[in-house]
Amino acid sequence: MHLPAILPWGAAEGFSKQMLLVLLSVVFIAVFFVLAARKQQLVPGKLQFAGEAAYGFVRNGIAKDIIGGKDFIKYVPLLFSLFFFILVNNIYGAIPFFQLPTFSHVGGAYVLAGIVYFTWIAIGVKKNGLRYFKLATVPSGVPWYILPIVIPIEIISNFLVRPVTHSLRLFATMLAGHLIVMIAGYGIEFLVMQENILLKGSSLLVLAGAIAMYMLEALIMVLQAYVFTLLTAIYIEGALHADSH
Amino acid sequence: MNQLIISAATEGEVNPLVPNIWEMGVVLVGFAILMFIVVKFVVPMFEKTFAERAEAIEGGIAKAEKAQAEASAALEEYKQQLTDARTEANRIREEARAEGAQILADLKEKAAAESARITAQAHAQIESERQAAVVSLRSEVGTLATTLAGRIVGESLNDDERAARVVDRFLADLETQNAGAAK
């Protein structure tokens, strides 16, 4: 299933297919959007229109709607890069020959969630100073005798669990989808090799199920890219407006 | 098949939550490169187009509104001018009418005065001519009468003073007779 290691970089698996796909995704996204944005015209052509629609989806559909205000444009590059980076790397899983959603390897998900984690904390501190940590953990309007329970919960949920769920949600859905498709593939292979004609025929049922799962997985790939970006926007918005939460 | 199961089993032994550090590095570098390209080229280019487009549309709307305002202002002005012109025309017509009436009245008056003057002149002339005729008639009639009377009575009546006296007396008698006859 996997391509062989290309270069022995001293890493356990050398230069893997996963690494190649990650770098390829950067090339794909950069080439597409630079081409789409290069010859900018007031009345767009087809390529420019597609690029603008994709860009406008993140800019208006996520950044403007969630963060809003006048400053949302500052966070558009991050959200835009995240969305398309994750989208392309997920869609690999649905394309024959590539057939590997790169975030089914957990490292990439940790990296992106970590970038987002430090970004929103930095935004919160820059906006509110060190008071931000108090704003983020001590909810206003809560009676004092509940605070000893609420504050630890807030610390755990905001500063400890949030990056974990953020990264694992992406990784787990991709790995699960990848595994399901892989298991279906192995299953079909196993059933086809059976002597019994009925068992052989039942591989068709598995194939039908695999196709359905493949469709579902393709949907989840797009959805997870959106969810990851949406959550990033929500975290940034929460950091920006910590005093009103 | 057995190989597949074995390979799956050995892969399963690797904890999927433990990341490969090299993969993390590649994702970090790749994402950094992508962010750089996006920040440097993609977002500025798209934002520039968005801004230009918004400006073009808003500018077009503003221009159209300005043109509309200018057109309605011009219309107002034309209407105002038209009303002014109508008022002016009415005023001029009224003035002309009044002036015409004035001129007519003046002319009538003048004509009446002229005719009166002519009539008076004619009267005076007639009167003076009549007077002249009376005078000349009186002297001629007197001369003729005295000559005739002198012939008849043989008496010289060349004495002018006496003759005049006789003529006057005669005429006075005549007038008395006439007056009596008129009565």
Of the pLDDT bands very low, low, confident and very high (cuts 50, 70, 90), residue A8 is very low
Chain A and chain B share a number of CB contacts under 8 A equal to 119
**In Å, what is the CA distance from B110 to each residue of A11, B98, B106, B113, B118?**
132, 18, 6, 5, 12
Which of A11, A23, A38 shows the shortest C-beta gap to B22? A11
Q: Name the average pLDDT for chain A.
A: 86
The residue-averaged pLDDT of A234-242 equals 89
Element (H, E) at A154: helix A147-155
Q: How many CB atoms within 10 Å of residue A182?
A: 16
Examine the pLDDT at A10 and tell me if it is beyond 50.
no
Q: How far apart are CA A36 and CA B23, in angstroms?
A: 30
CA distance A87 to A25: 9
Examine the pLDDT at A112 and tell me if it is beyond 90. yes
State yes or no: pLDDT of A227 exceeds 90: yes
Q: What is the pLDDT of residue B157?
A: 57
Q: Which of B6, B14, B20, B26 to mutate to test the interface with A (most CBs of A within 10 A)?
A: B26
Q: Specify the pLDDT at position B69.
A: 94
CB B136 within 8 A of CB B127: no
Q: Nearest-CA residue of chain A relative to B54?
A: A42
Query: For A22, which of B27, B35, B37 is closest by C-beta distance?
Result: B27
The residue ranking higher by pLDDT, A223 or B12, is A223
The residue ranges of chain B whose pLDDT is under 50 are: 1, 6, 9, 12
Query: Where are chain B's structural domains?
Result: 19-182
Residues A137 and A152: their CA atoms lie apart, in Å, by: 8
Using only C-alpha atoms, chain A has a radius of gyration, in whole angstroms, of: 22
Q: Does the pLDDT of residue A27 top 80, yes or no?
A: yes
Instruction: Render pLDDT for B142-162 as a digit per residue (tens, 0 to 9).
Output: 777 777 777 766 655 566 777
Return the pLDDT at B21: 86
pLDDT of residue B183: 56
Q: Which residue has the tokens 């003057």?
A: B117
Q: What is the DSSP letter of A97?
A: T
Q: Determine, for residues B46 and A59 on separate chains, whether the beta-carbon distance falls below 8 Å.
A: yes
State residue A198's pLDDT score. 86
Contacts of A118 in chain B (CB under 8 A): none
Domain residue ranges in chain A: 17-244
CB-nearest partner of A80 from B20, B38, B53: B38
Residue A240 near residue A123 (C-beta atoms within 8 A): yes
Assess whether pLDDT exceeds 50 at residue A64: yes
Q: What is the pLDDT of residues A181-207, one digit of tens each?
A: 888 888 888 888 888 888 888 888 889
A56: nearest CA partner in chain B = B46
Which of A13, A37, A73 is facing B41, going by the closest CB pair? A37
Q: Which residues of B touch A73 (CB under 8 A)?
A: 47
The verdict on a CB contact (< 8 Å) between B20 and A40 is no
Interface test mutation site (partner A, options B6, B18, B23, max chain A beta carbons within 10 A)? B23
Per CB distance under 8 Å, which residues of B are interface residues toward A?
Answer: 1, 4, 8, 16-24, 26-28, 30-31, 33-35, 37-39, 41-43, 45-49, 52-53, 56
